[in-house]
Structure 1
Amino acid sequence: MVDSGANVATRTLPLSGVHGGSSVVRLEAAAPAERINLRVRAEDVAALSAALGVDLPVKPKTSSSGNGRTALWIGPDEWLVFGDVRTGLVASAAKSGALHSATDVSHRNTAILVSGPGSAAAINTGCPQDLSLDAFPIGACSRTLFGKVEIVLLRTAEDAFRVEVWRSFSDYAFGLLSEGARDAAL
């Protein structure tokens, strides 16, 4: 007999309801997203791009967007692809017919949106990367360090960024960004 009164686990977002910032920086949790870590040989990039509906960028530090999906170049054969929840990224990749590895990391990662005129300064609190527009233009992305954690950083506008971080480190990253936001306002 099935117990219909059994407790059911409900997934919660790690930064649900959290907000922060300062007069020059806004911090907020990004909406839930579907994400895959994708490994593809150079000769199969076109097939995977077609199957996913977004061009996989082939130059370091670049990204592309299309059809509600975004692809970030992480390494010579590695991309982080994300889109709206339940867009079927793994299934789309499987339809390519090309040799690849697509790992669903939707529940491993979460994202923090950092915006405002002090956003780069707030991120530079824990990230040594040059975030000037000349060195890190709109659409630029990289896997880098933020304090003691690894992040994937995407510049989405002149003064806006998406910080992808493992959910287990999201409180730490949000806290350090909050400190940076306060410092940027000084």
Structure 2
Amino acid sequence: MADATLLPTHPLEAHRDAFTALSAELATAGTDLAIELEPLTNAVDLRVDPAAVDAAALRDVVGGTLPTLPNTWTVVAGGRAVWLGPDEWLLTGERPARAWEEALHAVVGPHGGAAVDVSAQRTGVRLRGAGARALLAHGCALDLRPASFPPGSAAQTLLGQSGVLLTAEPDGFRLAVRTSYAGYVADWLLDATTEFRPRPTDQQRAEA
């Protein structure tokens, strides 16, 4: 009997080939810019007053230290923790979301906190290379220069007309966007790369 197991499909699967072809085209032209889909990952939204909870117990279940500096992210076991507010973080990683949610709730629930599985809420796109900053500047009002937005930074902002969670990486940027707006952001990125693509030569125009 054939295996009938249903596998999750990336919300932007229909854009994967376009991103791959675009990245190859840019690389051939010598442009240091690539766009790729982030693998699907589990996510938990954590809310708690950090002063009210046992820090050691929370650190053990999170798998690392939560960022306390506004608009930053830190590495935790198997993923990352992104600061969203004084009492809110987005945890992402490969740990089973249900078990992670329950373990976190056991620690923060008695202190008025909450942990909610939001794995289906956002999808991710990765921008790599020196050209990523220039590309984002077409639709993001933040100052993304390394001095102002270095690796380890995070911000909830707009890209075009869509809200995104933007994180600065050592080799570029990561965009986490609500799944319902993911198609818009993907199309925006493809359109915004127009000026980065090589222009056809006179001979190519004639042949066309």
User: Which TM bucket (shorter chain)?
Assistant: 0.7 to 0.9
Q: Within 5 A, what are the aligned runs for 1:19-58?
A: 19=19, 20-21=22-23, 22=26, 23-43=31-51, 44=53, 46=55, 47-58=57-68
Q: Which runs of 5+ in 2 are unaligned?
A: 199-208
% identity of equivalent residues: 28
Q: CA RMSD in A?
A: 2.5
**Contact 1:125/1:176, CA 8 A, preserved across alignment:** no
2:158 to 128, 133, 145: 145
Q: Work out whether 1:172 is the aligned partner of 2:184.
A: yes
Task: Report Cα offsets for 1:139-185 as digits up to 9, x if no partner.
Answer: 1011111111111111111x411100011111111111223333345
Q: Which residue of 2 aligns with 1:4?
A: none
More strand by share: 1
Greater CA radius of gyration, 1 or 2? 2
1:15 to 7, 12, 36: 12
| Cα distance in 2 between the residues matched to 1:163 and 1:141 | 10
Q: Which runs of 5+ in 1 are unaligned?
A: 1-6
More helix by share: 2
Number of residue-to-residue matches in the alignment: 181
Task: Report Cα offsets for 1:111-151 as digits up to 9, x if no partner.
Answer: 00111110011112211101110000111011111111111
Q: Counterpart of 1:28 in structure 2: which amino acid? A: E
Task: Report Cα offsets for 1:35-68 as digits up to 9, x if no partner.
Answer: 1121111312724333211211111111110321
**By how many angstroms is 1:85 displaced?**
5.5
TM-score where L is the length of structure 1? 0.86
**Contact 2:163/2:177, CA 8 A, preserved across alignment:** yes
| Cα distance in 2 between the residues matched to 1:85 and 1:16 | 23
**Contact 1:32/1:84, CA 8 A, preserved across alignment:** no
| Cα distance in 1 between the residues matched to 2:106 and 2:36 | 35
TM-score where L is the length of structure 2? 0.77
